Structure 1
Amino acid sequence: MFKGLKPIQYNGQEVWPLIEGGKGVAATNHASSGAWAAAGGIGTVSAVNADSYDEDGDVVPQIYHGRKREERHQELVQYAIDGAVAQVTQAYEISNGKGAININVLWEMGGAQQVLEGVLDQTKGMVAGVTCGAGMPYKLSEIAQEYGVNYLPIISSARAFRALWKRAYKKVPDLMAAVVYEDPWLAGGHNGLSNAEDPRKPEDPYPRVKALRDTMRGEGIADTVPIIMAGGVWHLRDWENWIDNEELGQIAFQFGTRPLLTKESPIPESWKSELTKIKEGDVLLHKFSPTGFYSSAVRNEFLRSLEARSERQIPYLTEQEGEHTHQLDVGVKGKNFWVSKADLLRAREWVGLGHTMALKTPDSTVIFAAPEESKMIRKDQADCMGCLSHCGFSAWKDHDNFSTGRLADPRSFCIQKSLQEIVHGAPVEEHLMFAGHGAYNFGTDPFYSNGFVPTVKQLMDRILTGD
């Protein structure tokens, strides 16, 4: 057993302070989270577009029939509720009364409150707690209180926690079981970088977590409420000075990337194989997500194509002014696109290379895309099923008039489509592959040598040694 690591009290029983990160759109399911709990930790079922099953146990394809986005959005919400209920029920059975089962919700997903309430309504007694981030989920504590479950807010700074606590969480202090600090430079998936933080200059997590604990102490929150360190956690021995540290109080650790490569992990073999090939620096912190948040994913062909698409971009004005002295004569219809001479020459060059379609962005620029790429972008925008509360790619909003009021942004992509396809076996190079920045360890950690893929129990036993 690793020095200093002791079980903690959670949901009325002792568990290891090791939490499985909840990876959305079916990348964490009942098999992985149930096994994690059965091994004595806290397993996390993702309630973000989880898979549901038919009578034969086969995955139900998420096909949308509604003509309007609002209709497809309600179909998506129902898929999400049915899927998460199925996953929680089976995970709870696998756990066999050991550890605990949490669910994870992306607050910025479309219909988040409706989904969360729908799941908790049908899984009473099975869900120990709800982790929730990506946005400012002020209503999380209120929902937790209504259903009698713990809540574990995911934040990336003491400032964000203070805002949530002051506005809402201080009214329901007893159910806040932990605070998840998700490092915005190291974690996979969506990252909580603020405008004041530089994505190119990672900050040491220790002083940020100490500031969080100081804030919690200032609000009267006991040191026994753990801070869960998430993002960049691989070997516990690397965090030895965090354990039993009076400055930090009780610390627990979340593992998001490592559980992807286990026997129980639901991701396809092609994805598991690709994980072992990742080199240091291959995970890119980028801002292509339609949520508007930064996110971290493997810099594969899919991400490189998004980078290239944005590089084929020029600003325009609707009237001749300043350097905008030339009319754009390629890729567009009409004459009200005034650009600089240098940009006109660049645009002509891109068109000569086959990128013949100019698509307007919300920022008074146009990007150039090949006809097939342009057709795919337009189709994906038209097929939007409202998976986010606000979507930059399709200009969807899940309330009021269902529109963000901005032009749909062709520099982004349909995240629900891409994540659904990669997790169900589509080529990994062609879709978004989320991963934490420590994923390169799969290729260097001797635990995974000779193609070894552990069970969740074997992984937990390994983690508990410090490795």
Structure 2
Amino acid sequence: MSAVASFKGLTPIQYGGREVWPLVEGGKGVAVSNHASSGAWAAAGGIGTVSAVNADFYDENGDRVVQVYRGATRRERHEELVAFGVTGGVEQIRRAHDIAGGRGAININVLWEMGGAQQILEQVLDKTRGLVTGVTCGAGMPYKLSEIAERFNVNYLPIISSARAFRALWKRAYHKVAHLMAAVVYEDPWLAGGHNGLSNAEDPLVPQDPYPRVRDLRATMRAEGIADTVPIVMAGGVWFLRDWQDWIDNPELGQIVFQFGTRPLLTQESPIPQAWKDHLRTLEPGDVLLHRFSPTGFYSSAVRNPFLRNLEARSERQIPYSKVEAGEHTARLDVGVGNKNFWVAPADLQRARSWVAQGYKEGLRTPDDTIVFVDEAERSVIQKDQKDCMGCLSHCGFSSWKDHDDNSTGYLADPRSFCIQKTLKAIVHGEDIEQNLMFAGHAAFNFKTDPFYSNGFTPTVKQLVDRILTGD
């Protein structure tokens, strides 16, 4: 354990048969939460989290292997992706375990909506027996998580955003493997980075206080006979522990653990490129946008850079249509769609003509019976990315891929979205941070004002954990 004095009321917990600080590194997929950051977090006495989502692996010289897909079909490329995922996940876990040196604990994080999630998770756990303490899993309803955890005798930590979601998981599956559920991660859907669990009943523009939601989650857990010693992990918006003092040793909430996803981005061990780290220091409140452009269909939070602004603008150049003249659709669309017979409202026809005059000459249909207007270069990129799909998601709105049955969602591919694996691989490996998706939590603006980062200081993970333990 760290020798640093901890924030008032914060004490170590028992996890995986050892004493650890109740501080979890949030898992960040596609090579961001890698062995270096996660192993260092565990070595500092916390719970490090290796991402098993499109993880990197290396050649005999220690150089990263560029993952090139050679399959002629999506199914063949998907099988390559699964093989890459297993190789990368195993290597990252082994390296993180070595760095941890027997201290802290190593979890792995899996996006349930990633392509081949169950297959990858099972193979990774089989090849890393004894190295992984627990599996965190969200972005979907991972009913089979407890079953998989039991098969490999590891803990599991479901990621949910409401008591209702947890109850559904518990009733259907988790109650059968209660002894391995080490914690429940409450991920605030308005504040967390990456994909968020907002339901259709919740307003993305009206954030809710996490306290009553976590209180309700604990009440649900108690009603199901789950002991207060099973922690709730507060994830999303956590920066200074002093802001959460009322949560520590609070009988209404039971045992609380805190997860940090955004702060570990700016450490010496963090694998993200320097340009990304530098940009984090410039963010202001409101610079992280909760949006719904992800091909998963989930809401997600990312820095509102030109890449995201372009997606916003693209969706604004959109009009509804019908294939027959009906209702207010009385004008035949005569731009952007060649000789196809589409009918739109007269006002929308004028809007379409103005977009075409600005250079957005290509009309692309969406699954929602709308047409979105893009320029020729953008159309080419969209269509190439859709053609090159390697099946990185279980269901992809952008390419209409599905990782089972006939490999099709049955819907039109959606040009308002993007290839998420392409852009996340690009940004983490040093390509333009302005033209790729940059995930971050909504508390990222603190990098600019937190004195800990003044004068360009970049801490080691150990320095960051020690700082967090002081309350700051």
1:429 — aligned with what?
434
**Amino acid in the other structure paired with 1:307:** E
Q: Secondary structure at the match of 1:266?
A: coil
Matches within 5 A, 1:6-405: 6-405=11-410
Q: Give ranges in structure 1 of 5+ residues lacking alignment.
A: none
Runs of 4+ that moved beyond 2 A: none
Cα deviation digits, residues 335-384 of structure 1 (max 9, x gap): 41101111111111101111000000011110000000000000000000
Aligned equivalent of 1:444, options 440, 446, 449: 449
Aligned length: 467
**Amino acid in the other structure paired with 1:333:** G
Aligned equivalents of 1:5 and 1:331: distance in 2?
61
Cα deviation digits, residues 31-80 of structure 1 (max 9, x gap): 00000000000000000000000011111111100000000000001111
Aligned equivalents of 1:335 and 1:223: distance in 2?
62
**Amino acid in the other structure paired with 1:463:** I
Does the 8 Å contact 1:27/1:265 carry over to 2? yes
| Aligned-pair CA distance for 1:454 | 0.1
Pairwise CA RMSD = 0.5
Q: Give ranges in structure 2 of 5+ residues lacking alignment.
A: 1-5
Q: Secondary structure at the match of 2:121?
A: helix
Q: Secondary structure at the match of 2:289?
A: strand
Cα deviation digits, residues 129-160 of structure 1 (max 9, x gap): 00000000000000000000000000000000
| Aligned-pair CA distance for 1:322 | 1.9
**Amino acid in the other structure paired with 1:14:** E
Cα deviation digits, residues 236-260 of structure 1 (max 9, x gap): 0000000000000000000000000
**Amino acid in the other structure paired with 1:443:** K
TM-score (norm 1): 1.00
Does the 8 Å contact 1:327/1:335 carry over to 2? no
Aligned equivalents of 2:328 and 2:256: distance in 1?
56
Q: Secondary structure at the match of 1:367?
A: strand
**Amino acid in the other structure paired with 1:263:** Q
Cα deviation digits, residues 218-275 of structure 1 (max 9, x gap): 0000000000000000000000000000000000000000000000000000100010
Q: Secondary structure at the match of 1:428?
A: coil
Aligned equivalents of 2:337 and 2:177: distance in 1?
55
**Amino acid in the other structure paired with 2:245:** E
Identity of aligned residues (%): 74
| Aligned-pair CA distance for 1:333 | 2.1
Q: Secondary structure at the match of 1:430?
A: coil
Q: Secondary structure at the match of 1:439?
A: coil
| Aligned-pair CA distance for 1:334 | 2.3
Aligned equivalents of 1:88 and 1:323: distance in 2?
58
Aligned equivalents of 1:443 and 1:154: distance in 2?
29
**Amino acid in the other structure paired with 1:214:** A
